[in-house]
Amino acid sequence: MRKTFLGYIIAIVILIVSIWLGVSIGSVKVSISTLWNTAADPTATNILWKIRMPRVVLAGLVGASLAIAGAAFQGLLKNPLADPYTLGVSSGASVGAVVTLFFGISTPILGIYTLPTFSMIGALLAMMGVMAFARLVDRTLKMETLILTGIIVSSFLGSVISLMIALTGEELRQIIGWLMGSVSMRGWPYVKMVWPFVLIGSFLLWLNRRELNAMLFGEERAKYLGVDVKKSKIMILTGGSMLTGAAVAVSGTIGFVGLVVPHMTRLVFGADHRHLLPLSFLNGASLLIICDLVARTIIAPTELPIGVITAFIGAPVFSYIFFRQRRTKGA
Amino acid sequence: MLTVEHITGGYDAAKPIVQDVSFTVKKGGILGILGPNGSGKSTLLKVISGILPSTNGQVLIAEQNIKTFSPKAFARKIAVLPQLHAHAFSHTVRETVTLGRYPHQNSWFSTWSEQDEEAVQKAMQQTGVDCYEHTNLEFLSGGEQQRTFVAQALAQQADILLLDEPTNHLDIAHQRQLLDMIRLEAVQNGLTVVSVFHDMNLASLYCDQLLLMEKGRVRAIGEPHEVLKEQQIFEVYNTRVSSYPHPELPKPQVTLMPSVSESHAPYVVTKEQFKIRDEFVELRTDFPLKAVSSAVHNAGFGWFQSFVNRAVDLNYMCEDAHEELKRYLEKHDFMPSNTVAMMTAVAVEHVVIREFSSSIGSIIVAVTAGVGNAVDVSRAHERVSAPYIGTINTWVIINGKLTDESFMQAMITATEAKTKAMHSEEIMDPISNTIATGTSTDSLLIASTQSGTFMEYAGPITDIGKLIGRGVFETTVIALQDYKRAKGWI
């Protein structure tokens, strides 16, 4: 109990420090005191409020969404390698987003939420497609089967996106930049666009924290424990897709966040989803804020896509988990 | 109470694995499900627990159809322990057991009540996993994991417990501990239990009722003795078994009869194999003999390779004759677990060993007779004094194959022959002054090679009975005459 309490304290402290660093470091140094100092330099205030702050908040929301979705997918599928990126869910969300941009879809009812909504639908369809196909291949849904299916679906959807980009011509550049994964130059409208999705999606997952714990022992045992497996599954898949859709809609595909964060959190605090979900949420936010900071400062003034940094950390972690799982199971 | 009525179901509705199964387990009862691999035991459990669909029939808990329960309400009524599987992530023992409280909790807010905590603690203590409370499951052995899941099921505090081979992965100490505990829950707290078993003997020991399945249908249901019948088991499992009573409980046990047997010439024991040593007469054989005896060491039925008749001093007194005799055997290079041993006050040189044979085979009779304590059994009730030493020890070694029945008849036949010898030698009971029938501490051993001629009966007028009657009578007479000579009576 004390250990998890400490976990929350540490996660919050790291998040605050990340936000502070994210806000103050850059081509122009901005003191954190600008936040509350009304007498501060107006340029600094502008940089802080109009450029840095929305960027940090957006990175935080995206990171949190991907991490908590990853944690939930891993629990639901009992697969430590599952995350929105490896499962191909992110690609599905991308297709949803690109389709919206490509056809210029706008619905009056959804308003600014059109893009994340279509992203979310894309994510949900991709998720269901991956699960259905993987189940056809092997009923036990082995770890490798699921990841392979994710790769197949990802590649296929990637080619669909390439085709659409080829057909757009002039808008090409914008979409490619977005695809690489970035939270730069988005501003507050994007934050406004996604926060309800992040909130509702996370809440749906949090509601199923104990159900996820039970489902780690398999659906059969979860049923015996009184879990309404079907209902929980729908809620978790919807919540996960919502979060992935929201993240992808504003920042493109950023890989491995949903893999690295829950894995690290689990290593330290165990697999109890009551704490794993909120802790992953907090740590995911911190990680992406830091990654974004590194992406825009490491070879300044050029900015790296944030996906490069996450993949740089994520791929080795992915290999390590895969190695460990195979070793312990093969023994 | 759990009632299953004509349930049919399985993975495929067109080809149901479980067909028309009905039974009732009353509150506090334990039903064991037995059957060969693939007979539908686990499937039946899954159909009852609603994991697999049923196409016909119904399952009732206290007369209410289980299909009317919500998932959580169902889990408060029935706890299920499925077979153990490996998992990618692991919880600690405590977290795992805590999940058992899931059906008792509100889904919106985690309210961990004192009652929840109590149930979890009690379940962990009952299964002995409380000492691993904060250990991750993956670091525990299969048996410890299994016990953790049993604790989880107990923490559910359901009225009915369904178990699928709960003793898999457990050693016998933990098998006993687990089943004792479940039995106690059933008897004391009215837990109703249905469990799939692989081990018929365990099932017989712990269940009130057994259900034997064959190809998805009920082959037999009833008390253990009604189900574990040799012929029935043979027909269902196509394996020969022999059933025998449990030493302490009125429950049948069965044992395998291996169908491989080494072929060999019939084993034969001859008179020459008996050796007379300084303090004892011994018989050692190259193969075990099946024996029944009233010896001091290793009485009752068993298979043995050494037989000892030890002469002790008239004043032999020992607090613990069993222990002393065991040490004596070890000192003289006998394996105590493989040896039957008797004691006598008669000096070893007075042993009389004779071989008798007829067309059906041969027997060897060895007798040491001391009648200082001769008793007329019909007048023994008049005695008050403690017996003193003086014994007739009789061994009958039979070259043949005996049934349990013929072992018993051989004992009667041999005893009657001994009594007749006492009569013909006119050995008197000094107190009643009538002819004695034996002494107060006589011992008898019947041993057979269990190869060669099959002897179903051994009463006095069977071929083997005739040999025993004549052999024991003649040998005992010689031994008695020898005794009289030694005492200077004749």
3-state secondary structure chain B: CEEEEEEEECCCCCCCCEEEEEEEECCCCEEEEECCCCCCHHHHHHHHCCCCCEEEEEEEECCEEHHHCCHHHHHHHEEEECCCCCCCCCCEHHHHHHHHHHHHCCCCCCCCCHHHHHHHHHHHHHCCCHHHCCCEHHHCCHHHHHHHHHHHHHHCCCCEEEEECCCCCCCHHHHHHHHHHHHHHHHHHCCEEEEECCCHHHHHHHCCEEEEEECCEEEEEECHHHHCCHHHHHHHHCCCEEEEECCCCCCEEEEECCCCCCCCCCCCCCHHHEEECCCEEEEEEEEEEEEEECCCECCEEEEEEEEEEEECCCCCCCCCHHHHHHHHHHHCCCCHHHEEEEEECCCHHHCEEEEEEECCEEEEEEEEECCCCEECHHHHHHCCCCCCCCCEEEEEEECCEECHHHHHHHHHHHHHHHHHHHHHCCCEECCCCEECCEECCCEEEEEECCCCCEECCCCCCCHHHHHHHHHHHHHHHHHHHHHHHHHCCC
- Higher pLDDT: A1 or B368? It is B368
Cα A274 to its chain centre, rounded Å, is 19
- Strand-pair category, B443-448 with B280-293: antiparallel
Separation of first and last alpha carbons in chain A? 33
Number of structural domains, chain A? 1
Q: Do B75 and A224 touch (CB under 8 A)?
A: yes
**Would you tell me how many other CB atoms lie within 10 Å of the CB of residue A43?**
11
Structure tokens at B181: 């505990």
SS3 A181: coil
Give the one of B72, B90, B138 whose C-beta lies nearest to A226's C-beta.
Answer: B72
In terms of pLDDT, which residue wins out, B86 or A319? A319
Nearest CA in chain B to A263: B89
Angle CA B300–B441–B488, to nearest 5: 140
Note whether residue A240 is domain-resident: yes
Residue type, B52: L
Cα separation values, B459 from B48, B291, B397, B414, Å:
54, 18, 16, 10
User: Given this model, what pLDDT does residue B80 score?
Assistant: 92
**Which 8-state DSSP code applies to residue A138?**
-
Residue A40 in domain = no
Query: Å from A218 to nearest chain B CA?
Result: 8
Distance to chain A for B50, nearest Cα, Å: 9
Q: Which of residues 382-411 of B touch A (CB under 8 A)?
A: none
Kindly report the nearest CA distance between residue A40 and chain B, in angstroms.
Answer: 45
C-alpha B90/C-alpha B92 separation (Å) is 7
- Report the alpha-carbon distance of residue B237 to residue B256 in Å, rounded: 11
Which residues span the domain enclosing A265?
A: 64-330
A82 contacts in B (CB within 8 Å)? none
Taking an 8 Å cut-off on Cβ atoms, the answer to whether A223 and B50 are in contact is yes
In chain B, what residues touch A220 (CB-CB under 8 Å)?
46, 51, 82
Measured over the CA atoms of residue B98, residue B103, residue B104 and residue B108, the dihedral's sign is: positive
Report the alpha-carbon distance of residue A179 to residue A201 in Å, rounded.
Answer: 23
In a domain, A214, yes or no: yes
Is residue A268 pLDDT above 50, yes or no? yes
The answer to whether position A31 is within a domain reads: no
Cβ–Cβ < 8 Å for B309, B281: yes
Q: What is the largest CA-CA distance in chain A?
A: 66
Tell me how far apart the alpha carbons of residues A92 and A125 are, in angstroms, rounded to a whole number: 7
B25 - beta bridge partners?
A: B2
The answer to whether the B2-256 and B271-487 domains have the same CATH topology is: no
Q: What is the pLDDT of residue A181?
A: 72
Instruction: Give, as one character, the DSSP assignment of residue A85.
Output: T
Interchain proximity B102–A216, CB inside 8 Å? no
Pairing of strands B428-429, B443-448: unpaired
The answer to whether the beta carbons of residues A304 and A296 sit under 8 Å apart is yes
- CB count within 10 Å of CB B278 equals 6
User: Tokens representing A173?
Assistant: 């550049």
Q: B2-256 — its CATH code?
A: 3.40.50.300
> Which residues in chain B are closer than 8 Å to A216, comparing Cβ atoms?
87-91
* pLDDT given for residue B12 in this prediction: 80
- Which regions in chain B score pLDDT beneath 70? 88, 107-110, 260-263, 385-390
Band (pLDDT 50/70/90 cuts) for residue A59 is very high
Q: Angle formed by the axes of helices A143-168 and A89-103, to 10°?
A: 20
Would you list the domain boundaries of chain B? 2-256, 271-487
State the Cα–Cα distance between residues B103 and B81, nearest whole angstrom: 15
Residue A37 has pLDDT above 90, yes or no: no
Distance CA B8, CA B216 (A): 9
Q: What is the pLDDT of residues A65-76, one digit of tens each?
A: 999 999 999 998
Judge whether A105 and A121 are in contact, CB under 8 Å. no
A293-298: which pairs have CB atoms within 8 A and are 24 or more residues apart? A293/A18, A293/A21, A293/A22, A293/A25, A295/A182, A296/A26, A296/A184, A297/A25, A297/A26
Query: What percentage of chain A has pLDDT greater than the value 70?
Result: 93
Q: Say whether residue A206 is in contact with chain B using an 8 A CB cutoff.
A: no
pLDDT digits (tens, 9 = 90+) for A112-166: 788 888 888 999 999 888 888 888 887 766 777 888 888 899 899 989 888 887 8
Q: Compute the nearest-CA separation of B304 from chain A (Å).
A: 45
> Pick from B86, B91, B100: which is nearest to A225 by CB?
B100
Cβ atoms of A271 and A72 within 8 Å: the answer is no
Angle (deg, nearest 10), helices A188-207 and A273-297: 160
- In a domain, residue A29? The reply is no
Give a yes or no: residue A18 inside a domain.
Answer: no
Kindly list the residues from chain B whose CB atom is less than 8 angstroms away from the CB atom of residue A78: 87-89
For B45, the closest chain A residue by CA position comes to A224
Q: Does A266 touch chain B (CB under 8 A)?
A: yes
pLDDT at residue B312, rounded to an integer: 87
Cα of B343 to nearest chain A Cα, Å: 58
Q: Distance between CA B427 and CA B438 in Å, rounded?
A: 9
Residue A314, CA distances (Å) to A258, A262, B116, B291 in order: 9, 12, 40, 74
Residue A331 has pLDDT above 50, yes or no: no
Q: What is the pLDDT of residue A174?
A: 64
Q: Does A233 touch chain B (CB under 8 A)?
A: no
Do β-strands B241-245 and B217-222 pair in parallel, antiparallel, or remain unpaired?
Answer: unpaired
Residue B128: predicted pLDDT: 87
Q: Is the pLDDT of residue A330 over 50?
A: no
Mark out the alpha helices in A169-302 (DSSP H runs).
172-179, 188-207, 209-215, 219-224, 229-251, 257-269, 273-297
Of A217, A224, A270, nearest to B92 by CB-CB distance is A270
Cβ-Cβ contacts under 8 Å, B111 against chain A: none
Mark yes or no for CB contact A216/B91 under 8 Å: yes
Give the model's pLDDT for residue A170.
65
Asked if residue A3 belongs to a domain, the reply is no
Taking the Cβ of residue B51 and every Cβ of chain A, the question of whether any pair is shorter than 8 Å is answered with yes
Looking at chain A, which residue has its C-alpha nearest residue B102? A225
Instruction: Check if B439 contacts A (Cβ < 8 Å).
Output: no
B107 touches A at CB < 8 Å: yes
pLDDT tens digits along A72-106: 999 988 888 888 888 888 899 989 888 887 777 77
CATH of the domain at A280: 1.10.3470.10
Q: Tell whether B76 lies on the interface with A, counting CB pairs under 8 A.
A: yes
Asked whether the beta carbons of B167 and B199 are under 8 A apart, the reply is: yes
Overall fold of domain B271-487: L-amino peptidase D-ALA esterase/amidase (3.60.70)
Task: Inspect the interface and report whether the beta carbons of A207 and B108 lie closer than 8 Å.
Answer: yes
ipTM metric = 0.79
Which positions ≥6 away from B318 have C-beta within 8 Å?
Answer: B324
> Is A13 domain-assigned?
no
Interchain contact, A227 vs B102, CB within 8 Å: yes
Q: What is the pLDDT of residues A211-254, one digit of tens each?
A: 999 988 888 889 999 999 889 988 998 999 899 989 988 888 88
What's the angle, vertex CA B299, arms to CA B349 and CA B280, rounded to 5? 15
